[in-house]
A = this chain, B = another copy of it.
Amino acid sequence: MSEIELNKVVPFFAEADENLLNDFRDNVVAQRVKAGTYLSMEGDPCNYFPIIKSGLVRVFKLGSKGQEMTLYRIEPGQSCILTISCLLSKKTFPAVALVEEDCEVLLIQESVLREWLGKYNLWNQYIFDYLSRVLFNVINILENISFKSIDIRILEFLKSAFIKEGYEIQTTHQKIAIEIGTAREVVSRSLKQLEKQNILRLHRGKIVVTDSEKLQKELSLLQ
């Protein structure tokens, strides 16, 4: 893997010295993984530490009746922080990691990871940074679930989806349910209400925002 390529994928390599770069090149195994495959299931032992070079992975909790609760996503340049925690504390993986978009994954062996943690401070920082980011994220999810109403959570989801995708939001009610941690029917009913308020129009696999200001107003009204 060329140096230029590395820099693009993992930002912190821009600051890395020769030793770390060489070490990285020598010890990393690249692998392609198709969308739909499970990188790990609840209870799996962790042997390799993965960095996502391209693609998208969703990490979520699975309930006994198939309910899902998204914890975080891994984007290019990021890594699965739960895997690191598991590797270092010798626990098993406490969630499910599912590839959402075809991935190129860089794998690093446990022993190598440990060695690098002792050797390279930059490496420590990189991992530390993601670990606290995920912790903040999970605490935020906990806050949403504990203290905010379904209506607010759906409006917030729509708002951020609107910012990312624009007026046409490509998603299903089921997918929204998984993101905000509730049941599909609940999402359907709440969306129907918003349609009656002329904030949006519902279609199969698509939501069209018709009045983004009203959406914003409704949100600030409720919270």
Contact = CB atoms under 8 A, between A and B. Distances in A.
A133 to B, nearest CB: 8
A82 B139 CA distance: 10
A118 B82 CA distance: 23
Contacts of A220: none
B139 A89 contact: no
Interface in A55-69: 61, 63-65, 67, 69
A63 B147 contact: yes
Contacts of A132: 84-85, 88-89, 131
Contact of A138 (B89, B124, B135): B135
A181 interface: yes
Contacts of A88: 128-129, 132
Given A61-B139, A131-B128, A146 B71 contact: no
Given A89-B132, A128-B131, A71 B139 contact: yes
B129 A131 contact: no
B89 A146 contact: no
